[in-house]
Amino acid sequence: MKSFFEAHIWPLRDRLYRMVYLWTKDRDLSEDLLQNVFFKSVERQVDLENHPNIGGWLVKSLKNETLMHYRKTNRLTGLEGTEELPQPEIYSYENNDQLLHIFTLVDHLPQKQKDVFLLREVEEMSYEEIAKLLEMTLEQVKINLHRARKNVREKLISQGIHR
C-alpha cells in the first residue's frame, strides 16, 4: 500500500518542478525549493489528507517558498513585485525562432497570465485542472488565458511577425 505522499504528492513532482524552474531558471535552486515543499507536505500530512485541493496547496506553497527565498537573498524586497517572479529561461524547441520569440513575449506577461498560459499551452491542462491547481474560478482561468493570448498576438502583430 502506498503512503499518502507516494499516492497524492509524488505524482505531481514533475509538474511542480517545471513550474518552479520557470520561476527560478536554476535547476539546483528549483530542486531545493521543491524539496522544502515536499518536507512541509510530509510534516502536514494529517491536515493535507482532508484538504480539498492538494495540488493547489502545493503550488501555493511552492510559490511562497520561492518568494521567501528571493526575499532572504535580497533579490526581491518589499511587497512590490511579489506577483512577478524571475523570468524563466527560454525553451529551445528545435531552434524554432518564432516559438522562441513567443516564449520571450510570454515571459513578460503578468504572472497569473503567464502561469495560466503555460499550464494550458505547454502542460496541456484543461481549464478545470488549471482552475483547481491555481485555486481560481473557471472564469478567471478563461479571462487570464484570453488576455495572455491577446497580449502575445498584439505584440506579434505590432512587430510585423503575425498577420
**What digits encode the pLDDT tens for the residues 88-141?**
444 443 445 666 777 788 888 998 998 899 888 877 788 998 888 888 999 999
pLDDT surpasses 80 at 77 = no
Given phi > 0 = left and psi -120 to 50 = alpha, else beta, which region is 49? alpha
Which among 137, 133, 125 is positioned nearest to 56, based on CA atoms? 133
Domain ranges of the chain: 1-79, 91-163
pLDDT, tens digit, 9 for 90 and up, residues 6-25 = 888 899 898 888 888 877 88
The answer to whether residues 131 and 112 touch, using CB atoms and an 8 Å cutoff, is no
Looking at the domain 91-163, which fold is it? Arc Repressor Mutant, subunit A (1.10.10)
pLDDT surpasses 90 at 145 = yes
Instruction: Evaluate if pTM is beyond 0.85.
Output: no
Return the SS3 of 135: coil
Give Rg (Cα) of the chain. 17
At 1, list the grid cell. Answer: 500500500
